[in-house]
Amino acid sequence: MTPEERAHAAARALWTNDRASKSLGMEILEVGPGFSIVAMNATIEMTNGIGTIHGGFIFALADSAFAVACNSYNERTVAAHCSITYLAPGVAGKRLLASAREISRAGRSGLYDIEISQEETIIAQFRGHSRSIGGTLFSEPPS
């Protein structure tokens, strides 16, 4: 199994049980080893009291892209710490994209940066620290 095939299989296995991401209408657009792009349509139901997209929905999208990227090696991996900086407001009626890329991965720990954009505007930067917890997402065929 190539690293790309493993990443795709891991994403499928992870997404099968990810009810939260799917209930928000998220979809995986791209995946590779340590990389993912996840999209979500920003709806009017996601707006806060001032009419912009609630930061919790932006965080959830970034966290889902982070999960796909850090689980792409077929090692069960969770978030140990995450932070987000909001740079511009998101608006309803437009698609949000979260692009995750691996910065570092050693032992059981990883570091990932996720950029959240809407159209051509970067609206947030998310950094996730991952920790593998043992086990796999799917059984790999023998080599």
User: What are the pLDDT digits (tens) for 9-35?
Assistant: 999 999 999 999 999 999 999 999 999
Mean pLDDT of 116-130: 97
91, 95, 13, 78 alpha-carbon torsion, rounded to 10°: -40
pTM for the whole structure:
0.95
Domains and CATH numbers, the chain: 3-136 (3.10.129.10)
Q: Is pLDDT at 143 greater than 80 in this prediction?
A: no
Assign 117 a pLDDT band (cuts: 50, 70, 90).
very high
**Distance between first and last Cα of the chain:** 7
Q: Are strands 95-106 and 77-86 parallel, antiparallel or unpaired?
A: unpaired
Phi (first) and psi of residue 37, to 5 degrees? -130, 125
- pLDDT tens digits, 27-82: 999 999 999 999 999 999 999 999 999 999 999 999 999 999 999 999 999 999 99
Q: Is pLDDT at 142 greater than 90 in this prediction?
A: no
pLDDT number for residue 23: 95
Assign 141 a pLDDT band (cuts: 50, 70, 90).
confident
